[in-house]
Every structure is written in structure tokens, then in C-alpha cells.
Structure 1
């Protein structure tokens, strides 16, 4: 009754099942591993001392930004040059924008410095000017952003002087000098600063917390195992239907389709 399993058509079906099920199990296991890695990173991050409480170090000694150096106080010296406003940023459930100035260092590269946050929209709120002359700043180190605060990649389409996300990739075509692939946020208002600038707290390093992406990995794990079960279920169903058809032919209840 099951001799049909040896036909060329069923050889193809069987080969597909034999390959599909291990692949789905492998992908599900891989996604589960990604979720477990994020959980472990989150637990390790919680056990580490507060990065902001550690002693400040020169910027170049903390680069590139990793989960270990993210949030660490970094020191840089230079002069402020170009200023950009980063709209669509919230602080204490209020909408506003970041005030970002580029600090030209002695190396020739510029460090994006978020001097603070202001409520409202760019153009409708007066922005305090950056200090003149050579300044030394100490701020919490942050990795370059991949997307804007609302999850949308905004490399362009904004008015002149505004920036969708804080990254060297966004600034490379806006300024005629190199930019560090990192930025800092000042934990306290600058000495003598006026205009209501509020400090922007440092954010957790990407991949170190149980964010939406972590639970997406867990959801994908379930999906891959469901796919594996579905393939096996459909194979058994097809085999059963084929066996019933073969039995009907043998009993003369149906004509042989071949």
C-alpha cells in the first residue's frame, strides 16, 4: 500500500521534508540562542557598576564604543563649530529636540556633543549658543544611532540645520571634516549656560537590554518550530491521503489515476 513512497514524485516530497525539518529546527535554535545571549547581556549589564560613576578617561581610549564603554565618561578638548538640532526627541514624556554641536578636536576630527534638550520644535524655540574658544567637555559616551527616535531612518528630508539621527553616516555629507563614530551627552549644564537646556540622560548600549528585538527573537523561535511541525503534519496527511487512494483503487472503489 505504501509502495507509492518509492515513486519519483514522493522521493522529491520526502527529500524536501528531510531537509526542511532540520533547517527549521536549526533556525529556531539559533533564534533561541540570540534571545538567551540578550538575556545574558542584560544580566551582565545589571551586575556591572554604573558606567557614569567611573572616572572619566580621554575619548580615544574608550573607542570604539562597546557595551563595556557605552555610558562611560569621556573627556575631549576642542572648539565648537557647526550646530544641528535633532527633532522628535522626548524627555519626561514631553516632545522636544536635542541641541547638538560638533567639537573640533586637535586630531582634526569632530565629536558630536549633545549639549542638552529643549521643549518644542526647532525654529520655535530659542537655542543658546555654544561656548566660544577652546573648551574641555566631559560627557557620557554613546554609540552612533542606526535609526531616529521613532524608529525611522532619517538621513535626509529635514530642513537645513536639522538631523534625524546622531551618527557619522548622517554627518559625513553635511560637514567638510571627519566625525567620530560616537557622541557624548553632557550630564550637567555647561558653566554659565542659559536658555533652559536640560541634560539628556545616557541610554543603555544597544543589544544589552531586553528590548523589543529580544522578544522578537523569542517569537521567531516559536515560528520556526511551528513551521517544522507543520511540514511534518502535512507529510503525514499527504501520506494518509495517498494510502487511502491506493486502497480504494485496490478495492475497485476508484479508478487508478495513473
Structure 2
């Protein structure tokens, strides 16, 4: 006898359950792999050597979106500094000390500028930009590392903001400070020809840090992977529960008698072996009927 679990309806349920389990396990595996990858908003490229620098126009155009993957590339640009437009952007040193990056627009074409981070100074030296080394006049060539715009959570928020302060190095902020069309990214200066004019204060050049080399686990994605595995297990449990219930119902139907089963003792209609034979006598009602008709029959006999 064919099993009830191989009927067309159940074959469709089996296929659906298998697909659901495969999808859950596949999604869980993808989330587990994703948990080992760096965040999408983090620079993962190694810091390039300045000797491999390319013109910034080959990597990025003014106003174009800059992906995070473009970070840490070595680039070179030629233009004229707008020294009067220098600003301070809050930043922490590699040691965790509070201070500022000194940034200035390098005008590369008419109404177009590239933001250049000239160096870092501690908070104590941020009282006056006049003490800092002045950018040279005339055309300069800057070589450095292209970086994506700083995000709102980068750096720190100082208690007091000095004059000429910018919240962060990002075109969305600097466009309100400078009358130029800006590149999306900015350059951390590594070399410059000619050099700055010396000042009483000193700028510290801080190259970008190398990205982490090991696996940095993203525990949010790990939790997503675990959830998908739980979903797949729930599908299996529900599937097995349905099959067991269907098999139990089939056994109950077989034990209770299917089509063609015998009738019970009280179900006879008089034709069976255990039924009472039909009565040939007259009952009380028949006698009453005869008695009621008797006098009329006698009167007819006397008349005849």
C-alpha cells in the first residue's frame, strides 16, 4: 500500500520544506561570512607608497562620490593654496591626544579646489593660525594620500571651538566655508614642493594608519547567522510534526474500519440471519377492525 506521505500534496510540502531549509542555511552562511569582513564604511586598502602617486584627476573628479575603497591611494595635485581660508578640524593624535588638523583649499582650477590636511597641532597651539607655518605663495605640488570624507562620529567635539573652526573634513561642511567646487575626498599631505614657510609653531605630519590585518568580527552579523539557523531548525521540527500527525491519522482511520466494513447487531433490516421472521398473525388492531365490521355483514346475510 502506498504511503500517505508520497501523495502529490505531500510531495509538494516536502519540496517546499527542503527549499525553506536550504534558504535558511544559505542565508545563515552568508551572514557568517559577512561577519568576518570589514565594515563597508571603513578603509581597507593598505597605505600606498608616495612614489606610486597618480594625478588626483585619474582617481576622482570634483563633485563625484568617493567610495571607501578609494581610500589610502597615493595621489598628487598641483595648484595654489588659499592661505586665508585655512581652518581647524578636530582630530585625535595616534596617542589619543586632542588637537586639530589644519586644512586649506588647494585651488586646482577655476572655482575648483582640493582639501588638503597640512598637519596636526595640539589644542594648546590652536589659539592662533598666525603662528603656524604659512603655505607658500604661487603654484605648489602636493603629494599625499586620498581619504574619504570624515563622518560625524569621527574625531571628537571640543569644549571650546577656536576661530576658523570646521566640525569635520567633509564637503558637506566645507562648502559653507569656501567658495569652491570641492572634491569629495581630501588629501593628507605627505610631501610638498616647495615647502611651507617656517613658523613659530610646528605642524605634525600624521600619515593615515594601516587598516587592521586580522579578522574583526561583526557580532551583529553573527547574531543574524544564528537566527537563520534557528529558523531552519524550526522548519525541520514543524515538517516532522506534520508528517507524524498525518501518519497517526492514517493509522486511526485503518483501525476504525474503512469502506466495506460489517454492520453492527442493531443495524439489521429484517433480512439478516439474526432478524425476527415476519409475523403471519393478526394483531389487536386487526381484531378491532373485524369486530367493527361484523354487524354490517350479518345484516346483509339476513336480507339475502
TM interval, short-chain normalised: 0.5 to 0.7
Corresponding residue to 1:52 among 36, 49, 70: 49
Alpha-carbon distance change, 146 to 199 in structure 1, aligned in 2, over 3 angstroms: closer
Alpha-carbon distance change, 137 to 203 in structure 1, aligned in 2, over 3 angstroms: farther
Corresponding residue to 2:145 among 134, 141, 144: 141
Alignment TM-score, normalising by the size of structure 2? 0.55
What count of residue pairs does the alignment treat as equivalent?
233
Corresponding residue to 1:79 among 81, 90, 95: 81
Alpha-carbon distance change, 242 to 75 in structure 1, aligned in 2, over 3 angstroms: same
Give runs of ≥4 in structure 1 deviating > 4 Å.
13-20, 32-38, 64-69, 208-212, 236-243
| Cα distance in structure 1, aligned partners of 2:146 and 2:92 | 16
| Cα distance in structure 2, aligned partners of 1:24 and 1:121 | 56
Match of 2:201 in 1: 195
Q: Unpaired segments of 5 or more residues in structure 2?
A: 8-12, 39-43, 254-304
| Cα distance in structure 1, aligned partners of 2:233 and 2:150 | 36
Corresponding residue to 2:102 among 93, 99, 102: 99
Bigger radius of gyration among the two: 2
Q: Unpaired segments of 5 or more residues in structure 1?
A: 7-12, 39-43, 251-258
Residue 180 of structure 1 pairs with residue 180 of structure 2? no
Q: Where does 1:102-181 land on structure 2 (aligned, <5 Å)?
A: 102-120=105-123, 125-127=127-129, 128=132, 130-131=134-135, 133-145=137-149, 147-148=151-152, 150=154, 161-181=164-184
Corresponding residue to 2:58 among 31, 56, 61: 61
CA-atom RMSD in angstroms: 4.8
Alpha-carbon distance change, 238 to 106 in structure 1, aligned in 2, over 3 angstroms: same
Match of 1:41 in 2: none
